[in-house]
Structure 1
Amino acid sequence: MATKKRSNASGSSSGSSASSSATVLWLGFAAIVILLDQVSKITISKAFTYGETLGITSFFNLTLVYNKGAAFSFLAAETGWQRYFFTAIGLIAAAYITYLLVRHAGQKLFCTALSLIMGGALGNVIDRVMYGHVIDFLDFHYKEIYHFPAFNIADSAICLGAALFILDELRRVKK
């Protein structure tokens, strides 16, 4: 696994105060992602009724929809087990990411990626626990021909984090 090859950039043990304070910053960054995600979902939920759409541009709408599945409504039509499954995956991922943040707190790009992924995952976990579904509202489309599945800030953070993670790995391989 690529993460085992990582060394602590500061050269100090993961228990040092510098590493601890960096870890707190990364966890704080994840908390900001969660906060932005939850505030946006609450705002949309209060301003819109389910299925209501507001056209913003010729290619973008705000639309309140609920997703009982994962990204792009994967497994949304299942009987309900997926709610617990994706909640468990989100919590396990957050625990493992926290472990990685502690071990590699000095690696900025890597930890930025992980913090975005963790914040997004926990933002969607909160929805699943509180509502039984994830609130989505960002709706991009091309005319009436193609609609990209609606998503939210948590999903965006996960995708951005995954892209930064790949970039970090490519940079590491290049070295």
Structure 2
Amino acid sequence: MRALGLTALITFVLDQLTKWLVVQWAGLAVRGEIDLLPPWLNLRMAWNRGVNFGLMANDADLMRWILIGVALAISLWVLIWMLRERPGRWAMISGGLLIGGALGNVLDRVIYGAVADFLNMTCCGIENPYSFNVADIAIFAGAIGLILFTGGKKNKA
């Protein structure tokens, strides 16, 4: 259980710290874009009011609160699942990644009304129009980890 809580806390803090550094301190919210390692890694400000890739984006305040509720419900469900099943260390870390990332994006929606996305990667001549953040990476990695590290053999006890 400690791995889950610690991973969630570190993920949440890292997500919020990077958002503050990039959006506020470096001024990306005003500047709009900063090239770091063009064309591979750039900072591109995007206020995501929807889910991944802006799906279900809507300026309605109702959608904002629905997405907050969904993220909190999924986080609670994963927490209860991990408490009941007591899977191995890697599954707990995966659950922590997902919960910490989801809570980081929830805080953005509460404070800003949208999720602050800023990482943009382009490769191989294909221009990527989408931005993402540390929380998005953690949610994706956590979901994949939960698929890989849960299930399988049941305890005989």
Q: Determine the structure 1 residue equivalent to 2:21.
A: 43
Query: Which has the higher Rg, Structure 1 or Structure 2?
Result: 1
Distance, in Å, in 2 between the alignment partners of 1:142 and 1:167 is 27
Is 1:93 paired with 2:69?
no
How far 1:80 moved relative to its partner?
3.4
1:150-169 CA-to-partner distances (Å, cap 9, x unmatched) read 00000000111122122225
Give the root-mean-square deviation of aligned CA atoms: 2.1
Q: Identify the match of residue 166 of structure 1 among 143, 147, 151.
A: 147
Q: Determine the structure 2 residue equivalent to 1:71.
A: 52
Q: Determine the structure 2 residue equivalent to 1:26.
A: 4
How far 1:106 moved relative to its partner?
4.7
Distance, in Å, in 1 between the alignment partners of 2:78 and 2:64 is 21
| 139-148 vs 42-51, greater mean Cα deviation | 139-148
Q: Contact 1:87–1:128 (CA<8 Å) still a contact in 2? A: yes
Q: Percent identity?
A: 29
What TM-score results when the alignment is normalised by the length of structure 1?
Answer: 0.77
What TM-score results when the alignment is normalised by the length of structure 2?
Answer: 0.85
Structure 1, unmatched stretches of 5+, are: 1-22
Q: Letter of the 1:53 partner, please give it.
A: E
Q: Determine the structure 1 residue equivalent to 2:136.
A: 155
Q: Letter of the 1:38 partner, please give it.
A: Q
Q: Contact 2:3–2:96 (CA<8 Å) still a contact in 1? A: no
Is 1:55 paired with 2:35?
yes
Aligned residues: 150
Q: Letter of the 1:149 partner, please give it.
A: Y
1:7-41 CA-to-partner distances (Å, cap 9, x unmatched) read xxxxxxxxxxxxxxxx2441121011000000010
Q: Contact 2:88–2:149 (CA<8 Å) still a contact in 1? A: no
Is 1:116 paired with 2:97?
yes
Q: Contact 2:3–2:92 (CA<8 Å) still a contact in 1? A: no
